[in-house]
Amino acid sequence: MTDYIQAKGLIKGYVKAYREDMPAYMRRALELSMEALDKQIPVTPGYEDGGFDEEGQETWYPVCISCHSEIDEDYTYCPTCGQRIEWSD
């Protein structure tokens, strides 16, 4: 995980230092690179209220905290946004 954070820091520093001289397409490409690196840093999923089942028990389902899409517990990446998921024990 440290490698992702270091890479993002290097890209961010480069964009800041050369922002004025950099063509817009290159700046956008580097911004997309930083977004992609962010998605490689694992996050713990959130849980949203699924209402009540037939027996009156409250249900919850896991969601990606980046895009709030419902995810299965065997996913390692969100199929909607690509965010890396880390399931804690």
Q: Which residue has the tokens 């969601």?
A: 63
The C-alpha atoms of residue 23 and residue 59 are separated, in whole angstroms, by: 50
**Phi, psi dihedrals of residue 49, rounded to the nearest 5°:** -65, 125
Helix or strand or coil: residue 48?
strand
Give the model's pLDDT for residue 51: 86
Compute CA 19 distance to the chain's CA centroid, rounded to the nearest angstrom: 25
**Half-sphere exposure at residue 8, Cβ-oriented, CA atoms within 13 angstroms:** 15
DSSP 20: G
Chain segment 21-77, per-residue pLDDT in tens: 889 998 899 889 888 888 988 999 999 988 888 888 898 999 999 999 999 999 999
Q: What is the pTM of this model?
A: 0.70
